[in-house]
């Protein structure tokens, strides 16, 4: 079986990309469906449009300085021409003002966004017919729940799942989107809002510095299914 050739963009993030990136790579490759190349200098990797043609999926675990103009141009072109894209958690914080990237994400962390404490909350599947969430049940997860993300440029988006942001944990008291799909040109985009892992710090009791979110079965299932859908348009159950 031919694997889904995947380019995982990383190298800078306010979250602990040095743990999240290899975890995602290993998770995808363990399915036997994906082969993953890791790029920790996206501007350099994205500078060659011919190289990008080999990939069916681009996965962004990147939140850092802007890529150079050629990298941005090639990235937008390859996604617009049909390469799937997955945006993970803080990758929706980056590139404020880059309109094409904001259109890909659909909803982004911009002024007014926030989150409560890292805590356990229920994830509710809202679309049971979409290939990503078909047959997937609701689940509990420990994570950082983003709230009040900005709807960018009027782009249509579909919410596949929400998380309840409890006021007791510093949240909004309402359901917030945690899995979203958009279309950018011919490219399918899966935006996984979940996915917090903070660098290990001084507080050894802070669960947000563990891999508890990534180890969650519901998170893993939907992330893998989202990657397959973005690349192929379907998910083999």
Domain boundaries defined on the chain = 4-232
Q: What percent of the chain has pLDDT over 70?
A: 100
Is this structure's pTM higher than 0.85? Answer: yes
Spell out, as residue ranges, where the chain has pLDDT lower than 70.
1
Taking only the tens place, the pLDDT of each residue in 69-92 is 999 999 999 999 999 999 999 999
Please write down the HEC assignment for all residues of the chain: CCCEEEEEECCCCCCCHHHHHHHHHHHHHHCCCEEEEEECCHHHHCCCHHHHCCCCEEEECCCCCCCCHHHHHHHHHHHHCCCEEEEEHHHHCCCCCCHHHHHHHCEECCCCCEECCCEEEEEEECCCCCCCCCCCCCEEEEECCEECCEECCCCCCEEEEEEEECHHHCCCCEEEEEEEEEEECCEEEEEECCCCCCCCCCCCCCHHHCCCCCCCHHHHHHHHHHHHHHHHCCCCC
Q: What is the pLDDT of residue 237?
A: 78
Q: What is the CATH number of domain 4-232?
A: 3.40.50.880
Q: What is the pLDDT of residue 204?
A: 84
Q: What is the pLDDT of residue 28?
A: 98
């Amino acid at each position: 079986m031919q694997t889904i050739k995947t380019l995982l963009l990383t190298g800078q993030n306010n979250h602990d990309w040095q743990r999240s990136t290899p975890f995602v790579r290993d998770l995808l490759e363990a399915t036997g469906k994906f082969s993953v190349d890791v790029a920790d200098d996206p501007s350099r990797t994205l500078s060659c449009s011919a190289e990008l043609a080999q990939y069916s999926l681009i996965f962004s675990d990147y939140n850092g300085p802007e890529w150079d103009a050629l990298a941005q141009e090639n990235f937008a072109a390859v996604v617009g021409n049909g390469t799937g894209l997955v945006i993970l958690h803080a990758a929706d914080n980056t590139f404020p003002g880059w309109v094409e990237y904001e259109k890909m994400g659909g909803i982004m962390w911009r002024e007014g966004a926030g989150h409560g404490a890292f805590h356990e909350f229920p994830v509710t599947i809202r679309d049971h017919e979409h290939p990503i969430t078909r047959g997937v049940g609701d689940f509990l997860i420990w994570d950082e729940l983003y709230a009040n993300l900005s709807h960018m440029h009027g782009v249509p988006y579909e919410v596949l799942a929400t998380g309840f942001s409890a006021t007791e944990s510093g949240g909004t008291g309402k359901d917030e989107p945690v899995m979203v799909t958009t279309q950018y040109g011919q490219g399918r985009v899966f935006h996984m809002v979940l996915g917090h892992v903070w660098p290990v710090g001084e507080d050894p009791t802070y669960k947000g510095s563990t891999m508890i979110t990534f180890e969650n079965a519901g998170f893993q299932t939907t992330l893998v299914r989202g990657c397959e859908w973005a690349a192929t348009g379907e998910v083999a159950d």
